[in-house]
Amino acid sequence: MKNLKKYSVAALMVLAIMFTAVQCTKKNEVLNQTPASTSTTANTDTLYSVKGTATLQPISGNALATAWNGTLDGAWSNAPIVTVHAVVPDLGNNTFEGFIGNATDVNLRSMYDANNIYFLAEWSCSKNPTVSSPWYYNPITKLWAQMGAAPVWDANGVELSPPFVQDQFDFIFNVAGSCAGFKAQGCYAACHVNTPNLVMDTTTGNITTVPVYGGSMYTNGPNEKLDCWRVRMLQVLNCNQANDTYLDWGNGAIDANEIHNDPQVHTTDGGTSNKQVLSGMTVPKWIIKTGAYTNGAIMVGDTASGAALKVTAVSSTGVLTLSDGSTIDPTVGTNYQQIGTGANMTLGTYCVPGSIVGSYTGSRGDVTANAFWTGSGWRLLIQRALKTSDILEQDVDFSSLADQPFGIGVMFNGADNEHAIVSGLTLHFNK
């Protein structure tokens, strides 16, 4: 019965796919930024990977040794550009409410050599968000709080505050051709609208259907797996890594998001949330008193070196005591408070990052990445071994140089999971 129910959900999703597929069109347009090469731009669903080697900026310890300045190797001029038009779709259940229709063009290129495959993605967006749910002090409630990952509106549709969430970019591939619907449907093959709740009125016995907003990602059979590289800008700018994840069946659970991190040495590798509870109040766990945060994050190395101090106590009015005995009084000035209202709201210069960032380890750290803000958009470099040491069949294997179907997701201008999507793409190796 559970399996039948799950497949019925998948069938419903096919209808959503038919509705949304028309929104994922392709356009032969150039990004609103200086082109990085003179390669021919192609209006096609096929990305041609040519022989060549790219240089990516390495990390040193827990942090990027030096910031990448966006310069590309000359070999990229030989890689043809494919321009696709990514649009946030309407799945029909308010999953992407507030972002539906947002769109951007994405320029894609690829190269490969004897050991690695490389991708270059460039897209336009109006903001440069490299923050993730930062902490601020509310002088009215006298409490510390975190900015949300979604905009907040009042009952009249007026935006009260913008989202504070980092930009992201996703690549998704079919593992060993295991996901039957992926070639035709792309990531939609694993995208399911949550099943509605059935609620019974205990007085009348009447049953009503209550919609559940949101969606779940899982494949449609026990042997189906998808490889997903989740590029979070905080992780890329600080540790030059994408998050290597996979999607699976999840033992047939309904409405469960079955996106999992690849195995790593310790579960906390890659960082944690900068949050704790003291005296019944939720407050930051670590703070750098000077406000000199690296690309919107506290690094794991900062907590070990003493650059970041641990918050050990909080008063009833929100004054924080740090591990060196000093205090931070957020009621003085606006350094730790919201400034302004509405869509243009900003935060004080000392507001505290919501994330502690460190390097991924093990298979989770297989994908290397660099990112550069051009002033009007992002330039993203990706590198991964053609074949990883993964023995759990959670990574796509490019070593045969066979065609690979893939899709992309783009989260920009304050979008979190409300991503613009392009499905039905094919990676072809020029041999």
* Nearest alpha carbon to residue 13 among 182, 186, 155, 189: 189
pLDDT above 80 (res 425): yes
pLDDT of residue 60: 57
pLDDT above 70 (res 43): no
Largest CA distance in the chain: 73
For the residues 389-406, what does the mean pLDDT come to?
94
pLDDT of residue 16: 39
Torsion sign over Cα 207, 90, 13, 169: negative
* Nearest alpha carbon to residue 134 among 152, 149, 112: 149
For the residues 19-37, what does the mean pLDDT come to?
32
* Nearest alpha carbon to residue 311 among 324, 294, 301, 299: 324
Q: What is the pLDDT of residues 122-166, one digit of tens each?
A: 998 887 777 788 999 999 999 999 987 667 777 777 777 777 788
Report residue 35's pLDDT band, with 50, 70 and 90 as the boundaries: very low
Q: Higher-confidence residue: 38 or 300?
A: 300
pLDDT above 60 (res 38): no
pLDDT above 90 (res 429): yes
Instruction: Write out the E strands in 218-258.
Output: 226-232, 243-247
Cα–Cα dist 301/60, whole Å: 11
Q: What is the pLDDT of residues 216-250, one digit of tens each?
A: 899 999 999 999 999 998 899 888 999 999 999 99
Report residue 1's pLDDT band, with 50, 70 and 90 as the boundaries: very low
Among 12-26, 185-199, 359-373, the minimum mean pLDDT is found in 12-26
Q: What is the pLDDT of residues 178-216, one digit of tens each?
A: 999 998 888 888 888 777 777 777 788 787 877 777 778
Q: What is the pLDDT of residues 318-337, one digit of tens each?
A: 999 999 999 999 999 999 99
CB 276 within 8 A of CB 285: yes
pLDDT above 60 (res 62): no
Domain ranges of the chain: 2-127+166-264+364-429, 135-164+271-356
Report residue 34's pLDDT band, with 50, 70 and 90 as the boundaries: very low
pLDDT above 90 (res 295): no
Tokens 């996703």 correspond to what residue?
170
pLDDT of residue 17: 38
CATH number for the domain formed by residue range(s) 2-127+166-264+364-429: 2.60.40.1190
pLDDT of residue 264: 93
For the residues 386-413, what does the mean pLDDT come to?
93
Share of the chain above pLDDT 70, in %: 87
pLDDT above 90 (res 430): yes
pLDDT of residue 47: 97
Q: What is the pLDDT of residues 245-287, one digit of tens each?
A: 999 999 888 888 999 999 999 888 888 899 999 999 999 999 9
pLDDT above 70 (res 14): no
Torsion sign over Cα 48, 54, 60, 66: negative
Q: Which residues contact 388 (CB under 8 A, 6 or more apart)?
A: 363, 366, 395, 397
Q: What is the pLDDT of residues 80-101, one digit of tens each?
A: 999 999 988 887 777 777 778 8
